[in-house]
Amino acid sequence: NSEAKSEQQSQTFIRSPIVVVLGHVDAGKTTLLDKIRGTAVAKREPGTMTQHIGASFLPWKALESICGDLLNRIKAEIIIPGFLVIDTPGHEAFSNLRKRGGSIADIAILVVDVQRGLEQQTFEAIDILRERKVPFVVAVNKIDRIPGWKSFPDKPFIESFQKQEPSVQFRLEEFLSYIIQQFNSLGFRADRYDRVRDFTKVLALVPLSALTGEGVPDLMLVLAGLAQRYLKKRLETKISSGRGVLLELKEEVGLGTTATLILYDGVIKRGDLVVTGGLNGPIVTRVRSLLMPKPLDEMRSPEDKFQEVKEVVAAAGVKLVAEGLEEAIAGAPLYVVTNESEIEKFSKLVEEEIKGVKFEKDVVGVVVKADTLGTLEALIGFLKKNNIPIRVADIGPVARRDLVHALMVKEKDPLYAAILAFNVKILPEAKEEAAMNGIPIFWGNIMYRLVEDFQAWHQAQREQAIKAAFQKLTPPAVVQILPGYVFRRRDPIIVGVKVITGRIRSGVPLITKTGKEIGEIMQIREHENVLEYASEGAEVAISIRSKAMVGRQVNEGDYLYSDIPLDQINTLLEKYDKYLTENERNYLKKLLRFKMGLSSSIEYP
């Protein structure tokens, strides 16, 4: 009915956007977060809580004092209360801010080192931001390191820039144009933020120094502008049952397992019934308490760091204390249930969402274990992009069960019999079993490195397997009987030969130019030594088990050829071409012609 509707509408409000920081290691993510956090605390507004759990709140008033005159540039009415900045930078936290098909992060700051440009993890971050459709701003960091740069701490970039020497300005522009080019090659248009007209079409680059703070006001301004103009719809929320995601699980003395809940919609209250995801299915539990950090000046001891709150409104980061959280999965969604009749609906929702990530298929592929739902999902995406098939994708430590899967895979294709463990424990019995069965367990906490490690192993194994198969085939080889080196004329024939082409080994059947069978090589000798192989150019003695006789079917100075069946000639030429020398290839082609009846003798060499 319309009355209820209008009441609901009257309770709609605009929440703070949730901001995450991503970028390559050492780009300056932590430093930038510290700067932003420091600002938030320094410009604390009475009545606003700047420190949340897992996040920091930057109220609009604080922004006003940071941005100063710059604010006039965005000319928008101020509607967002501020920013909720997630405290942990990087992929893992971002991955756990997941929502089906997207992210609960509203905006990301991608930190790039001005002098280094885009690096490995920057590319990775761009990929996941694209995939989850999160708009981002690029913080081009460490401008204070540009030779000759004069720092103006905490000033807007555009002010600081104007005060630099022209040659220094030019240097910065050069670095920027390189970064712009890198973005162009990824299909993005990008420009210095003050030259961008349409922020939905062109990526904004904000040059700054996380260390000195110059340019940070500009960054905040661009974020605010983006949020106000383009995210308004997304930021609308109601005073209704809350929705959030478990960013992290943490053991707290006296409290048991607690969760860092990032609430992105609605409200959560003490005593609320909530549904979230657990290792063994959905968890239905009641909020025992909601904790926020106590302001520093009220903290009496390190144990006294939290204060209870009755309710929390989105967007917020809060510590959730409830029974059953030891089973919970980081990255799982959390729903506040206002009506018990909805428990089933929400449980199903949670279950589907988790099943959408975890799986077990009867295919030949690797076993993947990750610590959280978010990292598992990101890892699956990464493996798919690299065309690596997955048999099991699950959360939790590497256990014996995982080896059962790997062993089944080993029977079909040993190249995929491997376990990829992302930031999880490997149980001792699993480790033992893996070692016993030659199943490698790759462990890592940087996604691309973990996948690279697996790929390197996979590639090496593959090469080895190919080489082994190649070496089982009859090798292409041609030898010439050296005149004057006939030691025995009949079975076994013993002659001195020169290897003209390829490589001989024992067991290789030899024929004459016209295809007459001479016999198999028994042994290769060089002086007193028995050789396994003799390669092109070598002069060795060979013994041949033979019905033929030197002087009759074969003579001094004659060429002898390795006799390769037709199907093997084709296999060699098609599959193992890269292992063949030019001479071997030519010989195989001549032998093929002869075997196909296209020539009456082997016209080689």
Enumerate the known binding-site residues for GTP.
23-30, 87-91, 141-144
- Cα angle vertex 573, ends 571, 576, to 5°? 75
Element of type H or E holding 319: strand 316-322
Q: For residues 501 and 27, give the distance between their C-alpha atoms in angstroms, rounded to a whole number.
A: 55
Instruction: List contacts with ligand GDP (CB under 6 A).
Output: 23, 25-31, 89, 141-142, 144-145, 209-211
Joined together, the tokens standing for residue 8 give 């609901």
Nearer to ligand GDP, 212 or 260 (CB): 212
Joined together, the tokens standing for residue 506 give 């024992």
User: What distances in angstroms separate CA 343 from CA 87, 263, 348, one per listed residue?
Assistant: 32, 19, 9
Question: Residue 356 phi/psi, 5° resolution?
Answer: -65, -15
> Are 407 and 437 within 8 A, CB to CB?
yes
Q: Residue 219 CB, nearest distance to ligand GDP (Å)?
A: 12
Q: Is residue 405 helix, strand or coil?
A: helix
What residues are paired with 146 via a beta bridge? none
Q: Residue 212 CB, nearest distance to ligand GDP (Å)?
A: 7
User: Which residues does 8 contact at the CB level (< 8 Å), separation at least 6?
Assistant: 238, 240
Burial class (CB in 10 A: 0-12, 13-18, 19+), 208: buried
Q: For residues 439 and 408, give the distance between their C-alpha atoms in angstroms, rounded to a whole number.
A: 11
Q: Residue 305 CB, nearest distance to ligand GDP (Å)?
A: 24
Nearer to ligand GDP, 39 or 209 (CB): 209
Q: For residues 309 and 448, give the distance between their C-alpha atoms in angstroms, rounded to a whole number.
A: 40
Q: Residue 160 CB, nearest distance to ligand GDP (Å)?
A: 12
Residues contributing to the annotated binding site: 23-30, 87-91, 141-144
Q: Residue 36 CB, nearest distance to ligand GDP (Å)?
A: 12
> Are 364 and 391 within 8 A, CB to CB?
yes
What residues are paired with 58 via a beta bridge? 83
Four-point Cα dihedral 46, 51, 56, 57, nearest 10: -20
Q: Residue 214 CB, nearest distance to ligand GDP (Å)?
A: 9
DSSP state for residue 599 in the 8-state scheme:
S
**Comparing C-alpha atoms, which of 18, 37, 27, 183 is closest to residue 90?**
27
Q: For residues 17 and 314, give the distance between their C-alpha atoms in angstroms, rounded to a whole number.
A: 9
**Closest chain position to ligand GDP (CB):** 28
Q: Residue 471 CB, nearest distance to ligand GDP (Å)?
A: 47
Q: Residue 423 CB, nearest distance to ligand GDP (Å)?
A: 17
Q: Per DSSP, which regions of 92-188 are E strands?
A: 98-99, 102-103, 107-113, 136-141
Nearer to ligand GDP, 109 or 550 (CB): 109
Q: Residue 87 CB, nearest distance to ligand GDP (Å)?
A: 12
Q: Residue 455 CB, nearest distance to ligand GDP (Å)?
A: 25
Q: For residues 374 and 54, give the distance between their C-alpha atoms in angstroms, rounded to a whole number.
A: 16
Nearer to ligand GDP, 28 or 317 (CB): 28
**Comparing C-alpha atoms, which of 546, 558, 551 is closest to residue 498?**
558
User: What distances in angstroms separate CA 326 from CA 62, 91, 169, 213, 257, one per listed residue?
Assistant: 38, 24, 54, 40, 5
Nearer to ligand GDP, 144 or 371 (CB): 144
Q: Which amino acid is at 237?
A: T
